[in-house]
Amino acid sequence: SLTGKPILDKRGHFAGYHGVGSDITGQRRQQEQIAFLARHDSLTKLPNRVLFSELLHEACTHADQHGIALLCLDLDNFKLINDTLGHATGDAVLVAVAERLKGAMRQGDIAARLGGDEFAIILYTNDIEEALRVAARIIERISRPYRFDGQLAHIGMSIGLTTAPQDGKTPSKLMKNADLALYRAKAEGRGVARLYDPAMDQRLQGRRQMQAGLRRALTGGEFYLEYQPLIDLTSKRITGAEALIRWRDPERGLISPAEFIPIAEESGQINEIGNWVLFEACKTAATWPAPISIAVNLSPLQFRDPALLDSIKAALSESGLPPERLEVEIVESVMLESNTQTEYALWQLHSLGVRIALDDFGTGYSSLSYLRRFPFDKIKIDRSFIRDLGYEKDDSSIILAIIGLAERMNMVVTAEGVENEEQLVLLSAYGCTQGQGYFFHRPLPPARFLEALRASETDRATPPPANAGAVL
Q: Both 113 and 259 in a single domain?
A: no
Q: Both 306 and 442 in a single domain?
A: yes
Q: Both 260 and 167 in a single domain?
A: no
Q: Both 242 and 388 in a single domain?
A: yes
> Among 76-80, 246-250, 323-327, 394-398, which stretch is predicted with the lowest mean pLDDT?
394-398
Is residue 168 in a domain?
yes
Q: Both 103 and 252 in a single domain?
A: no
Q: Both 217 and 135 in a single domain?
A: no
Q: Both 381 and 250 in a single domain?
A: yes
Is residue 354 in a domain?
yes
The tens digit of pLDDT for each residue in 72-91 reads 999 998 888 888 888 888 89
Give the side-chain half-sphere CA count within 13 A for 322.
8
Is residue 466 in a domain?
no
Q: Both 157 and 133 in a single domain?
A: yes
Among candidate residues 130, 161, 196, the one where a domain is terminated: 196
Q: Both 252 and 372 in a single domain?
A: yes
Q: Both 236 and 345 in a single domain?
A: yes
What are the backbone dihedrals phi and psi of residue 36, each rounded to the nearest 5 degrees, phi first?
-65, -45
* DSSP code string of 161-219: EEEETTS-SSHHHHHHHHHHHHHHHHHTTSS-EEE--HHHHHHHHHHHHHHHHHHHHHH
Q: Is the pLDDT score of 472 beyond 50?
A: no
Highest mean pLDDT among 20-29, 224-233, 344-353: 224-233
- What global pTM score does this model have? 0.65
Q: What is the DSSP letter of 167?
A: S
467 pLDDT tier (thresholds 50, 70, 90): very low
| Pairing assessment for the beta strands 378-381 and 355-361 based on DSSP bridges | parallel
Do residues 48 and 39 make contact, with C-beta atoms less than 8 angstroms apart? yes
Q: Both 379 and 431 in a single domain?
A: yes
Is residue 410 in a domain?
yes
Please, what is the Cα angle at 82 between 80 and 85, to 5 degrees?
95
Q: Both 327 and 445 in a single domain?
A: yes
Amino acid 465: pLDDT: 47
Is residue 21 in a domain?
no
What are the backbone dihedrals phi and psi of residue 285, each rounded to the nearest 5 degrees, phi first?
-65, -25
Among candidate residues 131, 164, 196, the one where a domain is terminated: 196
Is residue 77 in a domain?
yes
Do residues 461 and 236 make contact, with C-beta atoms less than 8 angstroms apart? yes
The tens digit of pLDDT for each residue in 266-311 reads 888 999 999 999 999 999 999 999 999 999 999 988 888 889 999 9
157 pLDDT tier (thresholds 50, 70, 90): very high
Specify the number of domains making up the chain: 2
Domain that holds residue 107: 27-196
Among candidate residues 196, 222, 237, the one where a domain is terminated: 196
Task: Return the CATH number at 113.
Answer: 3.30.70.270
Is residue 472 in a domain?
no
- Taking the C-alpha atoms of residue 344 and residue 340, their distance in angstroms, rounded to an integer, is 6
